[in-house]
Structure 1
């Protein structure tokens, strides 16, 4: 079982909270890097949310 499969299993039913955590972590990285890698961080956030299934109500997806 891969690490991603284990994460998905653990987060099942808590996708919204996981999405908020991903956003918070990305915002922290943006703050610490003064936005220098903002587009890369946003891409990583989106891909991670997609993998975990927590991007269904992300306003950036519109």
Structure 2
């Protein structure tokens, strides 16, 4: 694993942590009333940024 791969992985992990924290805070503020909508929004944003949850799995070839 090269230095750029390590940096990319670290940045992706930080981005996901921030996204998860934001989702948790919004759910707390709304009392969980809009949990499904918030989760859908989070998935769309992460997908558009290339941070899909499925990308964590290694390629199976």
Relative to the length of structure 2, the TM-score reads 0.66
Q: Which runs of 5+ in 2 are unaligned?
A: 1-6, 57-61
- 2:21 equivalent among 11, 21, 24: 24
CA deviation profile, 1:19-56 (whole Å, cap 9, x unmatched): 11111101100001000100000001111111111222
Q: Structure 1 stretches (4+) deviating beyond 6 angstroms?
A: none
The number of aligned residues is 47
More relative contact order, 1 or 2 (CA 8 Å, 6+ apart): 1
Q: Which runs of 5+ in 1 are unaligned?
A: 1-11, 58-62
Please report the RMSD computed on the Cα atoms of aligned residues, expressed in angstroms.
1.9
Q: Which has the larger radius of gyration?
A: 2
